[in-house]
Chain A
Amino acid sequence: MNEQFRDLLLTTLLAVLFGLIFSGLMLLFLDKNPIEAFGILFSSLFRDKYTFGDIFVKATPLIFTGLSFAFTYKANLFNIGAQGQFYIGSVISAAVSLSLQDEMPGALALIIVFILTVIGGGIWGGFVGYVKARFKTNEFLVSMMSTYVALNIMDYLLRTVLKETKGEYPQTDSLSKAVWLPKLVQGTRLHWGFVIAVAAAIGIWILLYKTSLGFRIRAVGFNPEAARMSGINAKKLYIITFFISGALAAVAGFTEVNGMQHMLVQGFNPNVGSEGLGIAILANANPIGIIFAAILFGILRTGGLIMSQMANVPSSIIELMQGFVMIFVILSYFVRSKLEIKREKSKLQKVAGI
């Protein structure tokens, strides 16, 4: 067990390092000094607490969308619609916040907003599971297409009932301060959304590994035929799993709207779904791993942005870094399993006395 943990730390660190080295090579092509650039990247993170806090601000929605993909993945289902579920969650959060903010105390409003977002996003996601259970549709396609539907619903609402009172842009009015998620650390943008995200990750881990529902979800994911033969109703699980998955992605909308933007802007955070998918893969769909993977992405995003401004390199280098790091982290899984096999083998050879 100890050896495995050592491998995990070592290979992951090496993978991140390799990812940076390769993206550094790309900087060389641009005649920039990569060491200097990366120096800025990392030193800037600790420059002030505002920047440092931003790492976790960036990580927050990614934890949710990462969990959203990972959770269905455990049941061997693919939820490609986290982006749409995120938008549905954003729309519900913004609309409910706007209508409740003057009616009741902020804390109570926030709780209602949160609950309605969970239910709304859950139903939106659960629909994908329902049509799969009922009509055997392909959840991959339905969830992917549902994103476009969600996007258009948001556009429609932002041009009609939710449109700002000024009537200039397709965006809502600002939420009143009462329904903002409180700050976690003063002087930063870091809000309680991050705590909710970490709690959600731990909660999902408990659900998967410590409850019988999670057990059945994993059983269906590993071997649907054996699960069926054991009297497990996979159809019911499709709906439940997609409900939870949709709710997770929708809560990302809640934390972004009530914690960060404090309004709803058309088509904001357009990559939160696909990056979440990448994070889930990066973490091998482990809920706890997702927290760290999202923070890693937060570091690259926050530091990368400052680096691109200060070292005068194009900001697309951030995506390049994310891409390289992801490739090497995924490769590290194979390296680890090789190491594991080699260890087993040498153990056997020792026993056999060869």
Chain B
Amino acid sequence: MNKDWRRHDYGAASLIKNGRMMNTPFFELRNITKYFSQVIANKDVSFPIFRGEVLALLGENGAGKSTAMKILYGLYKADSGDILMNGEKKRIHSPKDAMALGISMIQQHFSLVPAHTVTENIILGNVHGRIDWKAHEQEILELAHQHGFNIMPDKLVRDLAVGMQQKVEILKALYQNTHLLIMDEPTAVLTPQEAEVLMQFVRGFTANGNSVIFITHKLKEVMDVADRIIVMRNGIVSGDLKRAETNERELSRLMIGREIIANDEGNRRQPSKDSDVRLVLDGVSIEEHGQVPKLKGISFSIHRGEIFGVAGVSGNGQQELCEVICGAIKPTSGRIYVDEKDITEKEIRDRIEIGIGYVPSDRHKDGMVMDMTLAENMMLKTSSDKKWQRNGFLDKRELDAYTEAAIKSYDIKAPGPNAVVKGLSGGNQQKVIVAREVNTGTSIIVFDQPTRGLDLGAIDYVHKTILAEREKGKSILLISTELSEIFALADRYTVLYKGETQGIYNRSELTTEEIGLLMAGYGLERSSGNE
């Protein structure tokens, strides 16, 4: 591809913001290349980061965004290439080196100590000898106040909401005198309202001449907050654009190499409401004594050929809901029925036999055995089934043929049935699980965030599969944190907040704003009452 996307020349056209001249970039990556054992993660990646700008690093999962940033932060070592600060070459071998240069990175999974207080977490690694707690708490309060954060320094981190924990992470970075803050998918765990608070902070922080790098794959977020956008695809920089000069369409083209086809499924069949109920949850709760209830009085039913969506910020009981249906945990009260049979006390194995499939959100932990082959993962749930046995031994030929068929029909990019799944890309791993669960789940399939971390091609494929299974008359529970996914696929949906359902709605009954409020725990009555 030619370099027509390089619309501005950094040498000549100086970027002016907040009245500063910025000829020399604050930081610069120059020809960074990084290999992992199986892939080229970064190939010749070069781009500058200027003072006072919000730079969005946009790309699909596996495009190499996080790798490039981990190199800048000293977590990985580049195989070749340089990092420059104010035009001078710098060696960054560890996060400690990076912090000394004023770089901080907030990982997708926070690195906080849950059993410690906010103060303890923030000063961790920066204090020696006797600690003057009062002084530190005061210092942190002031720092928080300065950036418009409302925080209690003596609270334990484990008692804080996720949005609050993120603020602690940010404060930890600020406490270390950070000038370049890298955030990996910072809004993934936030409600729309919390995300807005974060954006305000980002604007204020950069207004003081600091820089922020956002790693993201959400186009909308990029258009909201970024000044400049670096697009990555397959380990190379495929675009470097100013926000004002681009649009979502162009960005998506650069990101995936083609335009996103509008995801509007025309022929929707409205399932009949009164008959053909398949799955019923009746007042299902998980309440351990003395603990916050994980699920509280969940009641809904799913019909044949229906997709029932569950929206909500992750960590509000979604995983428990899935596990209670597939049998991994038993409810403390309430009943579960499939085709009018009570399955509440049935074990996982029995429920697999009933035909309940489950695509878990954490596929590495719950869904597959990474060190085993594709074929072995395909039979994970049916290993004692007669069809894989011949004379007491595993019938490898049968299994390989079965796997080969799945590889073909799901377009899984793998060398063959005996490839170890660890070596596959995330999207292909997910396809393996989907292929298996579609076969296992002959009557019900539970999808928990089935497209999380997948590239757009794979997302499209998973969506098509879900719709196809619905057409076959299966009942589908679709849990997603992406509202667009719920809107595109679900026939009816509910919102889960702190283990409770916030009403059941038909498709297109609510607006995005209304759902956002429900996700954040504001009941609709209250919000409409205020109007």
Contacts and interface: CB of A to CB of B under 8 A. Distances in A.
Interface of A: 206, 210-212, 215-216, 218-219, 222-223, 225-233, 340-341, 344-345, 348-349, 352, 354
A229 B360 contact: yes
A227 B371 CA distance: 13
A231 B366 contact: no
Given A210-B393, A231-B348, 14 more contacts: A211-B393, A215-B376, A219-B376, A222-B370, A222-B372, A223-B370, A226-B369, A227-B369, A228-B328, A229-B367, A232-B383, A233-B349, A345-B35, A348-B38
5 contacts: A211-B394, A223-B368, A226-B368, A230-B381, A354-B33
B302 interface: no
B240 to A, nearest CB: 22
Contact of A230 (B40, B365, B380, B388): B380
Contacts of B348: 228-231
Leading 8 A-B pairs by shortest Cβ distance: A231-B349, A231-B348, A230-B381, A341-B37, A230-B380, A223-B369, A222-B369, A212-B383
A9 B439 CA distance: 43
Nearest to A232: B383
Interface in B138-171: none
B389 interface: yes
A188 B393 CA distance: 38
Contact of B358 (A216, A229, A354): A229
B294 interface: no
A212 to B, nearest CB: 5
Contacts of A230: 348, 352, 380-381, 383
Interface string B36-76: 01111001000000000000000000000000000000000
A222 B372 CA distance: 8
B392 interface: yes
B35 A348 contact: yes
Nearest to B322: A229
B326 interface: yes
Given A222-B371, A352-B40, A352-B43, A229 B366 contact: yes
Given A218-B372, A344-B37, A226 B366 contact: yes
Interface in B324-363: 326, 328, 347-349, 351-352, 358, 360
B371 A229 contact: no
Interface string B275-311: 0000000000000000000000000000000000000
A210 B358 contact: no
A344 to B, nearest CB: 5
A227 B394 CA distance: 18
Contacts of A222: 369-372
B530 interface: no
Contacts of A352: 40, 43
A211 B369 contact: no
A219 B372 contact: yes
A349 B33 CA distance: 11
A323 B396 CA distance: 40
B384 interface: yes
Nearest to A210: B393
B37 A226 contact: no
B369 A348 contact: no
Most buried by B among A218, A226, A227, A233: A226
Nearest to B389: A212
A225 B392 CA distance: 26
Contacts of B351: 231
A231 B40 CA distance: 37
Most buried by B among A219, A231, A341, A354: A231
A216 B394 CA distance: 12
Contacts of B381: 230-231
Contact of B347 (A219, A231, A348): A231
Contacts of B389: 212
A101 B372 CA distance: 48
B383 A219 contact: yes
A227 B369 CA distance: 8
Contacts of A223: 365, 368-371
A229 B326 contact: yes
A232 B379 CA distance: 12
A176 to B, nearest CB: 38
A215 B370 contact: no
Given A210-B393, A223-B369, A216 B40 contact: no
B448 to A, nearest CB: 11
Contacts of A232: 383
Given A226-B380, A231-B352, A212 B394 contact: yes
Contacts of A212: 383-384, 388-389, 394
Contacts of A206: 393
Most buried by B among A211, A219, A345: A219
A229 B348 CA distance: 7
A226 B381 CA distance: 10
B369 A219 contact: yes
Contacts of A219: 369, 372, 376, 380, 383
B347 A349 contact: no
A348 B347 CA distance: 46
Nearest to B396: A210
A75 to B, nearest CB: 13
Contact of A215 (B39, B352, B383): B383
A340 B423 CA distance: 14
Contacts of B388: 212
Given A222-B372, A229-B348, A229-B360, A348 B39 contact: yes
B383 A348 contact: no
Contacts of A228: 328, 348
A211 B388 CA distance: 10
Contacts of B367: 226, 229
Most buried by B among A210, A211, A225, A230: A230
B352 to A, nearest CB: 5
Contacts of A215: 376, 379, 383, 394
A233 B348 CA distance: 9
A233 B328 CA distance: 12
Contacts of B365: 223, 225-226
Nearest to B363: A226
Nearest to B367: A226
Interface in B179-214: none
Contacts of B349: 231, 233
